[in-house]
Chains A and B, each alone.
Chain A
C-alpha cells in the first residue's frame, strides 16, 4: 500500500498556498527575507531570516479569534485548511481522520513568552494560556479542534529526523486501517533566541544559503509549515504517493537513484554527510534557499517533489538566496523522466531519513 498525497497546503517565505511555492520554483517569486539585528557580545550582527506569515487565515477563522492565536499555530492552521481544500474532498466521518505533526523545535516563541511572564511578573503570575500553547502538541490540539478531526492525534519531534518520522507514522496508520485519511504536517518557527544561537553557531556574516557548499557554514534560519492530506484512494491522487521511507545511518543513495532532493541548508555539521554522497549531479536538487534552514525542512522538499511529480517537471535548484538573488528570472524546467523522487535529510550524527515519492500506483 502506498499512502497517496491528496492535498497540500504551504506557508513558506514565498507566501501561502502551493501556487506560491510553484512560483518560487519557477523563479517568478522570491522568498521574504527580513534582516534582523542580533545583539551579541561583539555588538549587533545582521542576520537575514526567511520569514513566513499566515496571510489569509481570516478566510477560515474569524479575525477576532486570530489575535489570540500565536504565529506558529497560525501557520499550522492555514496550511492545514489549504491542504484539505486542495484535496477537494468532502471529509465526512472525522473520527476516521488522524493528525500527525512534527516540529524540530516546537512553539519556541510561546515557550519564551511564557518564561517572560515569570520573569516580568513573578512566579505567581505565570500565564496559563501561554503555558498551554507552549507544549509541542498545542498545534495538533488546536488544529484538530478547528477541523474537528477526531482520529488519532500525534506530535513528533526528532530534529532533522522529524519529517521522515511523521510520514512513516501517517503511512503506517493508513496501512493498518486505523484511519481513512491523515492530516500530516511539519514546520518550525523563528524567534530571537534562535537567531542568537544561529549567530553563535557560526552564521556571522552569512548573506545567502549556499546549500551545495557542504563544508561551509551558510545557514540562515527559516520558518513555515507544510501540511498534506494523505489517504489511500488510488483514483484521486494528484501528487503521487509515499512509496518508501528509510531511516538509518550511512549512505542510502544507490548509484542509479532517481531524482534526489537534498535538505542541505548550509549547516556545516550536517553538510559533511551530504558531501560524502555519490551524487548524480544532473538529477540532484537543493531547495532550501526557497524556505530557509530548519530541522523540519525535508517536509518542504516532499511538497516540492509532489508538485514535480504532478507536473512531470524537475525544477532547478535556486543556487543562492538573499541579497545575491534579488532579480527574479523565470527558470527553465526540465522534463522529469523518472517516476520517483527521493528526499534525503541528514542530522549531524549522520543519521538519515529518506522519503521516496512515486508517481505510479
Chain B
C-alpha cells in the first residue's frame, strides 16, 4: 500500500494559497514585522510572519477560532485540488489528523483576566474552545466517520500528523485522510517564546553565523492522502507519496535539542529505511531551520553527518516564520510543491557560513535532481520527526 498525496492546501504569511505562496518563495519575498493583532508590553517587539486578513471571509457569521479558520482555508484548497467531492466522500471512510499547539490549549486570556477579576465571565470562550478542537471540528463539520485525532506534539505535530495518516491507511483504518497542521499567532506563544530568549529582534536568518533566533508565524498546511489504488480508480493525479516517516525522542532536555542530534539522526535513518532510500537519493531537505542558535547547530551537524554537503537544503521558515504545530504540515506541502516544481527557493536571510552548523542552506533558487524530499521537525521536549516524500509518477 502506498499513501498517495492528491491535494495540497496552504495559508501563511507568504500567501493565502499555494499559487500565491510559491512565487513569493521563489522571489525571496518576505516581510516579517511587529504584529498588528497581538499586543505585547515589550520594549522591542520581535517581528512575526502574520497573515494580514482577519479571516472572517472564510466562514462568515460563525464563531470559530483563528486556528480553525486557517485550517478551513487550507482544507478547502486541498480538497479542491484533489477533486474529491462531498458525495464521493460520504461513501468513504475519511480520517482527520491535525497538528496544533494553540488550537488545543485553553488559554483565552480575556476570559481568564475577567475570571480572576471576579467578573464571572460567561462560557462562550470555553464553548468555543470545546467546539474548535481542530480534527474534531473538521470531522464534525463534514460529518466524516473515520478517526479524528488532534496531535499536540509541539513543533513536530504537523509532521507527526502526516506520519499518522500513512499509518492509518496502511492499517486499513480509513480510505482517505485529511492531514496537516494549523496554528494561529497569540499572545501566549508570543510572550512565551520571548521569555525563552529565542525570538529574533530582526528577520530570521536560518543557519547563518549571526542568527539571533526565530520569528513566530501562523498558518495551516493540509495534505489529502489516500491509498494509491483508490486514487487511481477515481482517476486522480497522485502528486507525491508519503514514502517514509519516523519519529524519535532525545530524552535529553525539555526545551533544547540533544547536542549531538541523537534523536534526529535516528529518525532520519529510520525514515530512509522505511522509504527504502539511501541518503544520496534525497533530492533536497526542508530543514526545521528555526534560526535559533541551538537548533540550527544540531540540525546542521546531523545533515552533514548523514548527507555530507551533497544534498541541498532550505529552511522555508525564512518565509513562513515558525508556525509551531502547523509547521510540519506547511513544510510537507511546500516540499511536495518544490518537488513538482523541480526547484527549491533560496533560504532568505542566510548570508554568513557558520562553521558550527557545518553546512550551508540554499542561497539561490536551486534546481533539484531526483524525486525525493525530506522534511524535518524538531520539537520542544526533544521529539524529532522526519518525513520522506516521493514525487508521483
- A residues in contact with B118, CB < 8 Å: 39
Which residues 129-151 of B have a CB within 8 angstroms of A? 130, 133, 135-136, 139-140, 145-151
Cβ of B331 under 8 Å from chain A:
no
Cβ of B338 under 8 Å from chain A:
no
- B residues in contact with A82, CB < 8 Å: none
Interface centre among A126, A141, A248 (most CB of B within 10 A): A141
Report, as a range, how many residues of chain B touch the other chain: 35 or more
Would you give the 0/1 interface string for B161-203, flagging 1 where the beta carbon is closer than 8 Å to chain A? Answer: 0001001101101000000000000011001111111000000
Q: How far is the CB of B192 from chain A (nearest CB, A)?
A: 3
Which residues 133-177 of A have a CB within 8 angstroms of B? 133-138, 140-142, 144-145, 147-159, 161, 165, 168-169, 172, 175-176
Closest to B324 in A: A135
Cβ of A108 under 8 Å from chain B:
yes
Closest to A176 in B: B167
Q: How many residues of A contact B (CB 8 A)?
A: 67
Interface-located stretch among B10-18, B22-30, B103-111, B276-284: B103-111
Cβ of A205 under 8 Å from chain B:
no
Given A150-B250, A169-B164, verify A157-B196 contact (CB < 8 Å).
no
Would you give the 0/1 interface string for B252-267, flagging 1 where the beta carbon is closer than 8 Å to chain A? Answer: 1111000000110010
Interface SS of chain B: mixed
Given A141-B381, A145-B254, verify A150-B154 contact (CB < 8 Å).
no
Would you give the 0/1 interface string for A244-255, flagging 1 where the beta carbon is closer than 8 Å to chain B? Answer: 000111000000
Cβ of B152 under 8 Å from chain A:
yes
Given A153-B153, A156-B151, verify A176-B170 contact (CB < 8 Å).
yes
- B residues in contact with A154, CB < 8 Å: 151, 153, 160, 247, 383
Which of A119, A151, A153, A156 interacts with B381 by CB under 8 Å?
A153
Would you give the 0/1 interface string for A175-189, flagging 1 where the beta carbon is closer than 8 Å to chain B? Answer: 110100000000000
Which residues 56-114 of A have a CB within 8 angstroms of B? 94-95, 99, 105-106, 108, 111-112, 114
State whether B192 touches A137 (Cβ < 8 A).
Answer: no
Which of B41, B146, B193, B262 interacts with A123 by CB under 8 Å?
B41
State whether B383 touches A137 (Cβ < 8 A).
Answer: yes
Which of A112, A126, A158 interacts with B136 by CB under 8 Å?
A158
Cβ of B307 under 8 Å from chain A:
no
Cβ of B210 under 8 Å from chain A:
no
Chain A residues in the interface with B (C-beta under 8 A): 39-41, 94-95, 99, 105-106, 108, 111-112, 114-116, 118-119, 122-124, 126-128, 131-138, 140-142, 144-145, 147-159, 161, 165, 168-169, 172, 175-176, 178, 193, 196-197, 200-201, 247-249, 347, 349, 351
21 A–B contacts from the bound complex (CB under 8 Å): A111-B106, A111-B188, A114-B192, A116-B116, A118-B109, A118-B187, A119-B116, A126-B191, A131-B195, A134-B107, A137-B153, A138-B381, A141-B383, A152-B249, A153-B382, A154-B160, A168-B147, A169-B149, A176-B170, A197-B126, A349-B136
Closest 8 CB pairs of A and B: A141-B381, A131-B192, A136-B152, A152-B247, A123-B41, A126-B195, A128-B195, A153-B249
